Structure formats: structure tokens, C-alpha cells
Structure 1
């Protein structure tokens, strides 16, 4: 069976590391990664815990397909109570760290307590020890990774760490691996920093050989890879243009949140799009995009590697930023660009580099800057407070804010609070475009109605990766639905949320769902892990995971009142595009969603639902 069967439990207060067997009964009920780690988390942590207290725990988890020959089988997740949201947090990352952890023989690492001084965890196969990290504290991700490799004299060591944003308490700090792959949302890096945990360094030489039926697994993974290759999105669009392929598409349908969601279309979208990234620059004739890049075992290769124009104002006399590194993906390009009215591609790339370099979520950062710019234009914030003219469209303000926020300096400390806390402090909480304190991704809920319901009900706060109805409403996957209609959206959202929970728990990338359904994943899990993973059982598992997360949030204090959207999306109609005249129809969709979920009118699990799902 494709689990290693081992958990590493690290008590940071005591400085101890010990191995324990994986609960195989839970593994069969929750699969792995997101589902299984959350099961452990809710069993061990009080829902009312302060996210930044020693009593909160943080878990690194792989899935049973992580490290195998399954396409995109390189994923891992970080699970905790989110610093930004106070809700259950599960943030997913690609790259190579997850596979390395699995190949070292571990399904999961559970960190508890808080170290008195900075430490990092070193794992070499079965051997694990906590080492002093005082010499690493204050260093960026880009400095930390090579420093640890040099110390251990092993260039194949994989590292998951925080930068300065996680150390200084930025509430949306990320955990970064392989320099620019990130468990990016909800402040998981903030929780890591609060524990004085700087990094995890892993070297695994064992491989993943415990496949239940190797012959069947070989066929199932080969068949599934062919499905990805033959699909227009996973076989052509994403490899060629990455997620940025969506920039012009979403703008055209009138669902591009612009200037803190005041508009739904951005006149500068074409300047920061995938097409712009591959076009020669007039300054030097070179393109922003250097190449694409794949994570471990991935046959899609949607990652972007970019290089900034060396004469651009952001990197003049800064040779450390002249090399190629992780380029813009759609969500970052939107949050740093359209959300602030900025159409300077090189400035966006530089801000994105800073987010990678010091471990900061570009979505929450960019969206918070959008709120700051609106407050500035209203006269609530001044140039004296901010240190710069912060009008919408000012690229220099964007990059300046990125520099001071990753370092925790000046007004950057307030931007680091996130938009909910910042706008409330300055008397305009309605300007925070967030749910459960987490900022929206790059889809306006007036132009894509299903995403409004998905945002409002997401267990980790506003998120596109917990129920990506854009696939259906815009791309026609697996069936085309009307993005402007509310009818049928509760069923659609529930189906996407449950299926996503299964994919996240298996250890594969959610982008496979542009081509795969559960019918493509099921044979892989069945052959690799356990014969009980049938189509019917997987559907129940996905629903079980979603309801388990919901129940944790309810016990943490979240109620129906938190399943809402900002007033702007509910009362201010879109002014242009296909959605002109529309607001989001959440009031219509939410009661029906609760009904089909088997929840009460207040959004709580009924006794019948608990019994049916075994919760």
C-alpha cells in the first residue's frame, strides 16, 4: 500500500523527534494529505486555540500518490489553524519537497509546541533531529535554501522554509520550497514562524516501492497521463501559457476584479497577460518568460520561469534580481496588477520575486494593497502615512509596498495585517474584499456566480482552489454552465468542493481536474493503496472531508454570518461586460446549498449527516 505507514512527531518545546505508526483506519477513511492530516489535527487541537500560541499544531503531509509515478504526484500540504483567518488552513504546494519527504519514509510530520530559540528540522531517511537555526534567522528563502545545502554538503536536499515575512509576523506569510513553489495561503508560514521553526530539510533515498498492485498501477497512471496529454487545457494551454492563459479570457467575460473590485474589467489586462509575457520587450528584444517548468512527476509543466529587464527601475543596481526565477501565475498577476490598476509587467514580476524570496502570499498582499489604494484615493490614508503616492495604477507604490511589507518595516507592518484588519482599523471594513479574512482570488463573483457561493462557503476563507466552478462556468469542464445564472450552482459548488477534497488528499495537483474526473483518479488510488477506494466510496470521502473541516470551523466560532460576501459584490452591480447590471445572487444560492449539504438553516451539520459520514 502506497502509504509509508509512519508519522514523525516533533515536539518543539522539548526538542524531541519520535516516530509513530500511521492510523491506517483513518487513512482508508480520509486517504492522506489534506484529509488525513486534518483528521489528526482536529483530533489533537482545540478549535478555539489562538493560531499563534504553542498549543496550535502544524502538520506537513503527503498523499499516497505523492512520490509515485502518478502524474503531478509531487504535492504536499501544510495544515494548521490559519493565522490570517482563524479557520482550518490547508495550503498545498508542488515542486520536489513532498516527493522527497515521502522517499525519506514519512507520510506526515506533526509539529507541536514552540521552540525557545530558532531551529530547523533535518531529516535523512529514518534519522531526524532539530538543529540550531539562529544563524538562519533573518535570512530570506533564497538565502536559507543554499545555506542549508552547503552546511549538509548535499545538493539534493529539499527544503521547505519561511523567509522574513514569516519571522516578522505578516499574517499571510507562506511556506516556500524549491525557491518559488509555495504553500501560500491563510498564513501557514506565520504559524511556522511563531514556533521559531525556520525550515525542514529532507533527503530521502528509499523511494516509494510499496504499491499494492504494480501492474495495475502502471496501466492506470499511463492511461491517466494520456488523458492529460489529449486535453486542450492540460496538454496545450497550461504548458504553453501557464495559468496566465486566463488573463484575457476572464477579462473579456467581465469577471476581472479591478481596483479593489470597483470594476470588473481592466483596460491593462493585455499588458500583463500570458501573451505579453512571451512577447519581445521593446527595451531589449527579450521576453519576460524564459521557459516553463514542471514539478516532480508532472506531465503538464505549467510553472513559469521569468527574467526581469535589467534596466527596469525595480532592479537597476540590484544584480541579485537579474537571474531567472519563478514568474507570474494568473492569481499573482491579477492581485499585483488588475487589483491595483497596475499594468507594468516587469514591476509585477519584481513584486512576485519578492513574495517568493521572503515567503509572502501575493494574492493577499496584492489585494490588501488594492484596499490601501482605495483608502488613499478617498483621503483616509495620506502620502505622509504611506511614504509614497498610492493612487491606483502607481507601479512604484506597489513595488515599494512589497519591499517594506516583506521586511516588516513602516506602513508595511499594517499591510501585513491583511485587508480585513487594516480596513477595520481605518474605519472602512466594507473595503476588504475577503471572506473569513482571506482575500479573494482573481474572479469577480458578479461575472461568475458560482464562484461567489464557493468563496462564501470555503472552509479556509475566500479561495478558488476549494471549488473551481470557473472550469464549468467559463471553460465548459466537465459541462458548460451559464456563469451569470444562479440556478444549479449549489449542486455544482458542492460537487467541485467534494471532488477537490479527494484530489488534494491523494497527493496530486488540482490542475489535473481540467482533464481528469474521479473516474481517472480512482483506478490509480485503487491500484496503489487499497481495494476499498471505489467511485462510490471516494465520493463519500470527499464529502466527509469537507464536512469535517466545516465542523471544526463551527466549533471555532464561525457561523452562517461568515458565509457571506462583501457588500460591494452584493449591492453594487457590475458596470461593464456580460455581467453588466448584476450583483452576486448569494441570497438565492446559500439556503439551497445548506439543504443539499445536509446542514441546518444555520449552516451546522445535522445528526443525520454526521451519522451518514461517520463523523
Structure 2
């Protein structure tokens, strides 16, 4: 096979066994890699209704056919498991160099099952793997853990690791893959922690053979011209990073503040992208072989680090009533070191702030209190005092205090920075997302606000069901190649199909690409249905639905299910499953 390795590493921590297994060609052609391959492996290998922290749950780290090639935005990998925060199947896409190193070590994926007897690290060197005891690394931050392993093994090793939050099974613990690169949402870092895996270090040097190197290079030249001419990928992101969105979304009255109590933030001008650029900016940074280079390095008190992304700015800023750029940088860095997802953590703190305001949380935390927030982050990661309550996420926190409506979540996942009262397509995408309240299953903001590829009426529900289903399928395919979604702000499915064709030699087309995405999305839905999820969970928070400008969600869901070929309860029909070949031949590794 070209572009794929056809192999995965299987680690059984309970039995102390490590083996290499073959990945059938049919499996890779049907699910591609990355998210799709991970979803199929988790669906087949993890028992239904198993607790996310149980040793029988599995976690998969998976590359795609474009990972490690010269195609732009392809130095990525996916992490897939059952989420301890939502109970759904969950994937997270991550950039950096770790995925390319796994591919260079001769592997497409890594499957981890069981539980180690003590805190351990997995070392993969040119495809050979071993487990080592790292009890001496207990409690280390993600930055410290990475540095320690690179000192011990060599700086050429790339490391994914968890911080104290993952070790302590905080339900929004993330996985860090180097400076500025995080598999952030859904608590997958806590799944690693439940298996007592502190880190995975990998080194590889095997070359990757593709079908048509020249065609892939020519596609990159074409993509470069298009990306540079696009006002977002060619100007806004390279110049300001994702934080350019903050002022724009606020101007549209779609930037929820104070735990979604209002749709705009009066202090947004104090934390705009321009403020960060003028006061803290040092230089641009990008993933390997990326012409967009959207990441920014900033400096505070002589210390350099990543500038907060838009979602982090919002979750720790407007959502919590905070408008200090310096404090937001420090809070974001602290989350990164502790191994906490900034979105769910910030949203959970915002929930706690409202519960404090209601007199239900004592001692609590007040709006915009950055010093209290810093202490709370450390307490959350270590499950101390009030932090132990917040470590469960906003849904469980609010339910415990008898005010479930104060948690702004879908399926247990805290909503991100786009208020669905102002953007109806995104509202439907939140409700139908297989992983919960997420803007990246179908980024409808692109058309409804940014005008990509064309500007849509953001409060018109007509036609949104078809568009949401299309983007859910398209993005499932993108996450399985694995490439960065920012490319899709300019490049269409035809370009990606040609890139896959050049890499693998297989006859990918626009239609076959979208069919793979649809297959993946339906298998995720099938997993969730078997876990007890149904139409009742495809909803939005009460605060949204009771608003005068609430989206007509019930009618939109009905249209969406019809487009999907699902029942009125949101269950994939037998005909749809047969059409997509699902659930497919069971994978045994």
C-alpha cells in the first residue's frame, strides 16, 4: 500500500503485552485513518456501556493517509475513545510532529487497552516498543514531563503526555503534544490517566512512499495560491491568528458572556487580536509544512509561550467576565501545563460563577476574579476542595446543586464561543454533533458569518439541515486524512480527493470522499445509540431554547433526520446502514 503503513501497535497494559497487528486494506479504504479508523477500532474493541475509566475501554491514536506527506496541514493525528465527560464516542484532532513521527516509525495507529500496574510511559523507537515505569514523574506538568523524557531519550523523540489533571481523572483533562498542540476536548487525557499512561514518546525515520510525488507537489502549489488569496487563510489567520474572530463575533452579538447570560461582551476591545499583537506578540509559528502558520508566540514578564486561541480567550475571558489580556495568557498557559481543556474548564468555572451568584456555591468564585481562577485551576487539576466538584464538568456540577439549567452543554460537552441564538445552522450542528456541544463537527459559522464560500442568512433555517449533514460528512473525512480544517475554508472536497489519489493511488473522488465521511458519522451515531443516546439528547440548553430568538430546533431536527435517512428518533435506518456497509466486518487486533 502507498501512503499507509498497514500496521498498528496494540498495547495490553493489564497483560503486559505489546504486538504489531496488520490493518486490512479494506478497513483503510472504508475508514481511511485518523478519526475514521479510530472510531471503527473503538466501536469494535470497546464493550458497550463500559465506563470510560474501565480497563476494558480502549484509546486509539491514529494517523491518516496524508499524515507525513508533503501535503499542507497533514502533520496531524486523531485520538479516539469513549469520553468520561459525555459518555459518547469521542475524537480529538491534534497538530504538531507526533503523528508524523508515529508514521515514520512504521505505524498507522496505536491501540491501548487495559491498565498498567503503575504510572508508565510507552516508548516507541523505530516501531519497537516498550513500557517503562515513570512513577517518579507523577504530578509533573505536561511541559515538565515532555522535557524529562526528551532529556532521557533524546530531543528527536516527540511526546504526547498528560498533566496532573489526567492523572487525577479530571473529566476535561486533555493530552498535550508539544508547545501549542493539544487534543483538547472530551477528557481523553483522563482516559490515558485511567490507564496509568503518563506519556507516549515516539521516534521514527522510515521514509513514506506515495503514489505520485509530483502530482502531490503540484497540488500543493495550487493549494498555496488559493490559500494565499483567501482573506481568512491568507490574511486574517497569518496576521492575527484565530483571535481575529473575537471582535467579529462580538460585533454580531454572538459572543456569549457571563455563562451565556448575554450575547456580547462589553470588554472585548481590551482582549482583541490587535491588543495581543501590539503588546505581547513575538513571532508567528505554524505546524510543519503549513503556509498559514496561524499560531502566535507571545511574551509575558520575559517568558515566551503560545498566544491563547480564540476559544481559550472566550472561555477564560468573556464567559467568566474577565478582560485582562495578561491574565488570560497566564490562565491559558496554566491550563496547558496542568493538562486541562480550556473550553470546558472555562465554561465550568463560568457555571460555578453563576452558581455562586445564585447563592448555591459557598465558598464560590466571583465574576472576573483571575487570582481565584488561577487557584481554582490548580485545585481542579489536583481535585482539591471546590476544584474536586468542578473536576466533574459543568453538567454534573450544576445537577449536584439542583440547577441543571445553569450548565451550557450538549450531551455533557460545554458549548464553545458561538451563541446559537445568533446562528441557526451552528445551533443545529451543536445539537446533532456526535461528541456533544462542538463547533468543529460542522463549522457553519464559515458560511453564516465569515461568508465562506458564500454568505448565508444566519437566522434562516431553510436549507441548513442539508448543509449541516454535508459538513459533518466532509469534516469527518478531513479528520480521517488527517488534515487541518482551516484548509477547508478555501479548498473543496475535489482538491482533497485528488490529494488522496496522488498519495495512495486509489481512485478517490468527491463522491467517495463524502461517502467515507458519511460512513464514519453514521458509525459514531450507531455507537451512541447503542450507549442509550437518542433524539432527546439532540437538543440545546434551556437558556437557548427559551430565548425569544431561539432557533426552531424541532423543525430543523426533523428535516435533518430526513436528510440523514434516520428515523424520527434519530436512529440510522437499516437501509442506510446497509448502504454504507455498517457496522462492517469486525476488526480483531
Band the TM-score falls in, shorter-chain normalisation: over 0.9
Residue 130 in structure 1 maps to residue 167 in structure 2: no
Aligned residue number for residue 585 of structure 2: none
Tell me which residue corresponds to 2:316. 336
TM superposition score normalised by structure 2: 0.97
**SS state of the match for residue 4, structure 2?**
coil
Gaps of 5+ in 1: 280-286, 311-321, 574-581
Deviations 1:352-403, CA, capped at 9 Å, x for gaps? 0011112110000000111111111111112xx23xxx22232223223223
Q: Secondary structure at the match of 2:135?
A: coil
Shift of 1:180: 3.0
Gaps of 5+ in 2: 583-589
Mapped contact 1:85–1:436 kept (Cα < 8 A):
yes
1:541-599 deviations in Å (ceiling 9; x for gaps): 111111110010000111111000011001123xxxxxxxx112212211100110000
The equivalent of 2:587 in structure 1 is none
Is residue 257–residue 263 contact of structure 1 (8 Å, CA) maintained in 2?
A: yes
- Looking at structure 1, the residues matched to 381 and 40 of structure 2 have their Cα atoms a distance apart, in angstroms, of 33
For 1:212-251, list aligned pairs within 5 A. 212-251=211-250
1:151 aligns with 2:164: no
Counterpart of 2:586 in structure 1 is none
Q: Deviations over 1:317-356 (max 9, x none)?
A: xxxxx42112210000000001011101111111100111
1:76-91 matches, cutoff 5 A? 76-91=77-92
Counterpart position of 1:587? 554
Could you tell me which residue of structure 2 aligns to residue 366 of structure 1? 346
Greater CA drift, 229-238 or 332-341? 229-238
Matched, 1:306 2:281: no
Given the alignment, which residue of 567, 576, 579 partners 1:600? Answer: 567
Secondary structure of the residue aligned to 1:446 is helix
**1:346 matched residue in structure 2:** 326
Residue among 467, 475, 481 paired with 1:506: 481
The TM-score, its normalising length taken from structure 1, stands at: 0.93
State whether structure 2 residue 435 is matched by structure 1 residue 460.
yes
Contact 1:260–1:374 (8 Å) recurs in 2 = yes
Aligned ranges 1:392-403 → 2 under 5 Å: 392-403=367-378
Distance in structure 2 (CA, Å) of the matches to 1:373 and 1:249? 26
How far did 1:296 drift? 2.0
Structure 2 counterpart of 1:481 = 456
Look up the match of 1:315: none
Structure 2 contact 224–291 (Cα < 8 Å) conserved = yes
SS at match of 1:135: helix
Q: Which residue number corresponds to residue 268 of structure 1?
A: 267
- 1:59 equivalent in alignment to 2:39: no
| Structure 2: distance between partners of 1:612 and 1:225 | 37
CA contact (8 A) 1:289 1:306 kept: yes
Contact residue 259 and residue 354 of structure 2 kept, 8 A: yes
Q: CA deviation at 1:221?
A: 2.5
**1-side partners of 2:367 and 2:425: how far apart?**
28
Q: Match of 1:174? A: 174
Match of 1:295 in 2: 287
Report the alpha carbon displacement of residue 289 of structure 1 after superposing the two structures with TM: 2.2
SS of corresponding position for 1:307: strand
Q: Measure, in 1, the Cα distance between the counterparts of 2:559 and 2:149.
A: 52
Mean Cα deviation higher: 482-491 or 159-168: 482-491
- 1:469-511 CA distance string (max 9 Å, x none): 0000001112211111111111111111111011110011011
Asked if structure 2 preserves the Cα contact closer than 8 Å seen for 1:173 and 1:184, the reply is: yes
Query: How far does residue 215 in structure 1 lie from its aligned partner after superposition?
Result: 2.2
Q: Give secondary structure in 2 for the equivalent of 1:78.
A: strand
8 Å contact kept, 1:257–1:443: yes
CA contact (8 A) 2:122 2:131 kept: yes
Could you say which residue in structure 1 is the equivalent of 2:70?
A: 69
Q: Write out per-residue CA displacement over residues 220-261 of structure 1, whole angstroms, 9 at most, x where no aligned residue.
A: 222222221221111111111111010000000111011111
Of 199-208 and 399-408, deviating more is: 399-408
Q: Is the 8 A contact 2:215 2:502 kept in 1?
A: yes
SS in 2 for 1:600: coil
Give structure 1 regions of 4+ aligned residues with deviation exceeding 6 angstroms: none
RMSD: 1.1
The equivalent of 1:493 in structure 2 is 468
Q: Is residue 317–residue 323 contact of structure 2 (8 Å, CA) maintained in 1? A: yes
1:522 pairs with one of 497, 513, 530? 497
Supply the distance in 2 between the matched residues of 1:22 and 1:214 (Cα, whole angstroms): 24
**1:99-118 equivalences in 2 (<5 Å):** 99-118=100-119
CA distance in 2, matches of 1:585, 1:334: 26
How many Å separate the matches in 1 of 2:366 and 2:133? 44
SS for the counterpart of 2:496 is helix
CA distance in 2, matches of 1:567, 1:493: 22
Partner of 1:564: 539
Give the structure 2 partner of residue 577 of structure 1. Answer: none
- How far apart, CA to CA, are the structure 2 residues paired with 1:234 and 1:148? 35
Residue 10 of structure 2 corresponds to residue 18 of structure 1: no
Pair 1:161 & 2:161 matched: yes
Distance (Å, rounded) in 1 between the aligned partners of 2:44 and 2:525: 14
